[in-house]
Structure 1
Amino acid sequence: MILRWVLYVLTTLLVAASGSWGALALWYQAGSNGTFRAMIAIAWSLLALTALVLLWSRRGGGVPTFVYLLAFAVLLAWWGTIAPSNHRDWSDDVSRMLSGNVDGERVTLYNVRNFRWRSDQDYDVRWETRNYDLDRLAGVDIILSSWGVPGISHALVSFGFDDGAHVVFSVEIRKKHGEAFSSLGGFFKEFERTIVAADEQDIVRVRTNVRGENDHLYRLRMSKPAMRALFLAYVKEANELAAKPAFYNTATSNCVTIVYHMAKQIDPGLPYDYRLLLTAYLPSYLYRIGALDRRYSLAQLTAQGDITARARATGPQDDFSRAIRTPPEPGEDAAP
């Protein structure tokens, strides 16, 4: 008797979980017509609900559950046919894919973004080819940009060189024209993944000065070989995506988890942590593993690293990278 109830409960959990997943999968991927997607997602939900009702009413024996599981197997087979693509009607800011060529310590990056943004709809499109000497790497900063969603920030990694130049790498969704980010959609093959390399004047300033986000900059404690390896890992990932597209996933291949997997190649002992998903808490993880300067408290580093006001005070012709790294004058607030 107890074994039967355990079996019923486990089957119920399986049907409920797969039913919910299937409904969302159909909603996000069953065609472009919203009405059709809603209807087929509802139909799937009703199928799962019917299987549960018949299970607990003990009608039909195990046939309804078997039919439902067979339908779920068909759904999974269909899901496996959905493939990513590099050929869609992309939004202007992700219309080109980053690639790179490595020749010893010299790296050439193709399609580095250097837009001039006046609003999200008004901007000057500029894609550039840039050359970098890895011998001149001077530092790596992580910039967290928050738009008000609790626990979530977007992470960007900025590489600085001894001549004052910076290039930022950012793992992002590759939006189509008119498309907006959805954390839930990111679990259901809604977006392809791309790596953007951009000037700080573009990719950071658009967040602080155009979109009204709040940004914090943290200097990472990394050896020069580790900085070089991380830079090259971004180039390798970008080249692989250019050759073979991949989907973005909110949990497994977001802006931080990709960096974690790259960094783990440098330090295999790097621990996994929930803060790699709840990215707003990433600084405490970095502080714990010794990636931030422990001569200061985390609260001090966070206050010193609030670059929002400094960014918003810049004009289009200012040296943006220098401005956001110039600490405020004594008595001046570090936050807006």
Structure 2
Amino acid sequence: MKWYFALLPLALVGGLLLNWQLSQPSHTRAWRADHSRLPEVTEAGGIYRVANIRNWDYATDGSVTRQEWIAAEIDPDRLVGTGFLVEPFGGHDAIAHTMLSFSFSDGASYIASIEARREVGEEYSAVKAAVLPIFEYLFVWTTERDMYLNSEFMSGDQLYLYPLDIPLDQQRAVLKAMLAETAEIQAQPRWYNTLFSNCTNVLARTVNKFAPDAVPFDKAWVLTGYAAEFLYEQGFFGTALTFHEARARAHISPLIREFHGIADPVAFSQAIRARRSGG
């Protein structure tokens, strides 16, 4: 019987792998309202049109007061800055959601967020998503105002925005890569996995597609709460501050509460940045 018990772990692993192979991801399920629309990306002459950008509004009690989906034309040549967003959750330093924010010369800012796409009544489970094909993932595109108010009032999480200090041509390459990945998901659904396809390592692999090894593998690819400190150590934030000081400066939750009454998403983003820059 000893051989039986020795083979049991291998059988379990084999069963899990077979389950992943046989299960097929899909875009057609009973999705939650905030995940109900898949962003659609088209490109013509270097200009990208992104449809189904979420621009919802939220009350301070976390209720949704408006469900609006918009389209925007995105010109990478008008990109003026990129921010790395961190939203810790779960009460543990190692756990966080990470996103990218792209700001443009007309004042508009849009967020790209890789998320486990959930069905109605479905709750996120990092443990289950590590071993079972239960969530697809999608690139969620939103206005900054939508995502910031969602984090502050609906999720009740703190939010940190770190400006990336990399050349603009590289930032534009990151933006194009994110848009290309969004279009690929639009064409072919993929499974979310806490270990291998999460909010952080999908971002890292997307960047490494056009700049190999630009983001070296690190524990932060899996323990996403350490992603900001990892990027700080790699020099992506370009600051002489200590990481503790940079993190304190990156904390934007108080500004979200201060400016949430600004209904226009462009004016909202401009107000946040003006205050952060001392304007």
Decide: shared fold, TM above 0.5: yes
Which position in structure 2 is the counterpart of 1:246? 190
Amino acid at match of 1:309: P
Q: What is the aligned residue count?
A: 269
Deviation per residue, 1:279-304 (Å, 9 max, x gap) = 11112211122111132222221111
Contact 2:114 2:138 in 1 (8 A): yes
How has the CA–CA distance of structure 1 residues 183 and 162 changed in structure 2, closer, same or farther, with 3 Å as cutoff? same
How has the CA–CA distance of structure 1 residues 304 and 76 changed in structure 2, closer, same or farther, with 3 Å as cutoff? closer
Identical amino acids, percent of aligned pairs: 28
Contact 2:63 2:154 in 1 (8 A): no
Contact 1:153 1:280 in 2 (8 A): yes
The Cα shift of 1:172 comes to: 0.3
Deviation per residue, 1:45-82 (Å, 9 max, x gap) = xxxxxxxxxxxxxxxxxxxxxxxxxxx66x75455221
Which position in structure 1 is the counterpart of 2:67? 125
Give the distance between the partners of 2:138 and 2:20, measured in 1 at CA: 22
Equivalent residue in structure 1 for 2:82, among 136, 140, 149: 140
How has the CA–CA distance of structure 1 residues 79 and 255 changed in structure 2, closer, same or farther, with 3 Å as cutoff? closer
How has the CA–CA distance of structure 1 residues 79 and 289 changed in structure 2, closer, same or farther, with 3 Å as cutoff? closer
Give the distance between the partners of 2:188 and 2:208, measured in 1 at CA: 22
Which position in structure 2 is the counterpart of 1:290? 235
Equivalent positions of 1:168-317 (< 5 A) are: 168-187=111-130, 188-270=132-214, 271-317=216-262
Q: What is the TM-score normalised by the length of structure 1?
A: 0.74
Deviates more, 1:119-128 or 1:134-143: 119-128
Contact 1:275 1:281 in 2 (8 A): yes
The Cα shift of 1:266 comes to: 2.9
Give the distance between the partners of 1:86 and 1:287, measured in 2 at CA: 36
Equivalent residue in structure 2 for 1:324, among 266, 272, 276: 272
For the aligned residue pairs, the C-alpha RMSD in angstroms reads 2.2
Contact 1:111 1:127 in 2 (8 A): yes
SS at match of 1:101: strand
Runs of 4+ in 1 over 6 A off after TM superposition: none
Give the distance between the partners of 1:302 and 1:321, measured in 2 at CA: 20
The Cα shift of 1:230 comes to: 1.1
Contact 2:37 2:52 in 1 (8 A): yes
Q: What is the TM-score normalised by the length of structure 2?
A: 0.89
Give the distance between the partners of 2:63 and 2:135, measured in 1 at CA: 21
Deviation per residue, 1:96-129 (Å, 9 max, x gap) = 1012122233111111110112355533111111
The Cα shift of 1:196 comes to: 0.6
Q: Which has the higher strand share?
A: 2
Which position in structure 2 is the counterpart of 1:45? none
Amino acid at match of 2:64: D
How has the CA–CA distance of structure 1 residues 258 and 327 changed in structure 2, closer, same or farther, with 3 Å as cutoff? same
Equivalent residue in structure 2 for 1:102, among 37, 43, 46: 43
SS at match of 1:222: coil
Contact 2:56 2:69 in 1 (8 A): yes
Give the distance between the partners of 1:312 and 1:136, measured in 2 at CA: 29
Contact 2:56 2:64 in 1 (8 A): no
Give the distance between the partners of 1:229 and 1:14, measured in 2 at CA: 48
The Cα shift of 1:18 comes to: 4.2
SS at match of 2:182: helix
Which position in structure 2 is the counterpart of 1:334? none
Amino acid at match of 1:153: A
Unaligned runs of 5+ in 1: 1-7, 22-71, 330-336
